[in-house]
Structure 1
Amino acid sequence: MSDTDDSAVPGRVRRAVRDHDAVDDDPTDGAFPVTSTPFDGRIAVAQADDGRIEFDVTVAVPTLSAVVEGEVAEVVEDGWYETFERRIATIGDVTAAGHDLDPAVERSGEAVTVTESLRDLNEQRGLNDAVAVVDFVEGTYVQGVIPGYEYGEPVTGLISRARATGGSDGY
C-alpha cells in the first residue's frame, strides 16, 4: 500500500482530488477520505516508478451484528460475511480503465475491511475508478441487508437513501 504524504502526492493528483466531489482533499492518516459513503472509505495515493499513479483503496464496513439491534446468531453472521466476501469478489469491471481487480476482504471483530490497489496514468480517471470501488463496496453491503432485523445506522440511512433515489416509498 502506498503512504499518502501530502508532499509526496504529485500536484496533478492534488488538483484531481480537490476537484472531485466525493473525496475530501485533506488527507487523514495518510489517505484521502471518501465522503460519498457513510463507511470509512479512504484512498492513499503515490507516484509509482513507471510514471503511473497508484491508488490504494480501503473501505471498512461494520459486520451484520454491529448494526443490528439485538442478537445475531453466529451461523447467520458467518453466512452474511461469506456472502459479502463472494459478492465483493465479483467486482468485475466497475472502472473506466478496465482494471483487473481482485479485492481482499478481511474480518476483524465487528469490522470488515476491503482493500484494492489500481494504477493509472490519468489521475482523474484513476481517482474516479478508486471511488467506483468504494461505491461498489457500499452497494454490495446494502445488497446483503437481511430482512427481518431491526437495523441502526448507517444501514437505516443507506436504505432510506436508496429508496429516495429509486423513487420507492417503501411499500
Structure 2
Amino acid sequence: MVYRCPLICDTLDSPTWSGCATAVSVTDSGAVLTDGSNREGPDTTRFCTSVAYTGVMTDVPDDVAEAFDRHDALVPAGDSYAVETTNFDGRVAATAGEEWRTNYEVTVRAPSLQAATSDEVGDAVVDGWLATLERRLEDAPKATRTAVELDDYSVVENGEQVVVTFEYTMGGERQAADVAKTFVEYVEGTYVEGVIPGYDYVGVVADLLNSASTGGSEGSRGGTPL
C-alpha cells in the first residue's frame, strides 16, 4: 500500500527522515521498494509504506472511503479503517464487489485468555472458553440495525491474540460502516461478559473489567463466565 508521505527530506544526500518507514519509487508496474535513496519528481518528496501514516488510501473504493471518512467512529489506518469506540483493535477493509455492492472484512484482535491473565490457565479451560466465545460471536449480525448476512466468519487463536473476522457484502456504504462498528463493539462486549471468574486479569482486559464493574469497584478478577 503506497501513500504520499507528508514529510520532506532536507537533501537528497540525507535519506533518513522522521516518521517514514520504507521508501518506495513508483514505476509503471507499481511501487518498488528501494533503499531510500530514490526520489520522485524534482523535489525530495518521498513515498512511504508506514502504517503509522494514515493518509489517503489507494485501494478502498472512493465512495466507501468518502462514507468512512465522514463516519465519527472510523479513522484511516493503513489499508483499512480503525474503529475508535473500543479498546480492542478493530478494523474494517473494503474491496469492490460485483455490480454496485462492496465486500467488507471486519477484523478484531483481542488478547487470548492466557495473555489476559497473570495466572496459569489450563488447556481445557482455554479450549472451552474459545469455543464458547466463537459460538456467541456468531450472533453478531443480530445486534445490527441493518439486515446483514455473513459471507464468512472465524475465530482463531494466533499466539497471544484471538482474531475474529467477519466478512459481508453490502451496497450502502454508511450502513456498512455502522455494521462494522457494531461488530467490533459486539466482540468487545461479548468478550468482557465472558471472562472466567477467579483469574487475575491484566492489561486492557483488566481496564475493561474495571470500567464495567458496578459501584466503582477497582477489582480486576473476572465476573460472568461465558
What TM-score comes out, normalization by structure 1 length? 0.84
SS at match of 1:7: coil
Task: Number of aligned residue pairs: give it.
Answer: 162
Residue 35, structure 1, aligned to residue 106, structure 2: no
* 1:125-144 matched pairs, under 5 angstroms: 125-144=175-194
Residue number among 172, 192, 196 corresponding to 1:146 in the alignment: 196
Alignment partners' CA distance in 2, 1:97 and 1:157: 31
Gaps of 5+ in 1: none
Residue 109, structure 1, aligned to residue 156, structure 2: no
Alignment partners' CA distance in 2, 1:11 and 1:90: 30
What TM-score comes out, normalization by structure 2 length? 0.65
> Which one has a bigger Cα radius of gyration?
2
| Counterpart contact for 1:55–1:127, Cα < 8 Å | no
Q: Given residue 68 of structure 1, which amino acid in structure 2 is its aligned partner?
A: T
Q: Over residues 78-127 of structure 1, what are the superposed CA-to-partner deviations in whole Å (9 max), with x where a residue is unaligned?
A: 22111111111233422222112352111222221111112222111111
Normalized per residue, which structure has more strand? 2
* 1:74-113 matched pairs, under 5 angstroms: 74-101=123-150, 103-113=153-163
Alignment partners' CA distance in 2, 1:124 and 1:61: 26
SS at match of 1:117: strand
Residue number among 195, 211, 216 corresponding to 1:169 in the alignment: 216
Residue 62, structure 1, aligned to residue 108, structure 2: no
> 1:147/1:136 Cα in 2 relative to 1: closer, same or farther (>3 Å)?
same
Residue 8, structure 1, aligned to residue 72, structure 2: no
Percent of residue pairs bearing the same amino acid type:
36
Q: Given residue 114 of structure 2, which amino acid in structure 1 is its aligned partner?
A: S
Instruction: After superposing the two structures, state which structure 1 stretch, 52-61 or 94-103, moved more.
Output: 94-103
Return the structure number with greater relative CO, CA threshold 8 A, min gap 6.
1
| 1:146, distance to aligned residue in structure 2 (A) | 1.2
The runs of at least 4 consecutive aligned structure 1 residues that moved more than 4 Å come to: none
| Counterpart contact for 2:110–2:161, Cα < 8 Å | yes
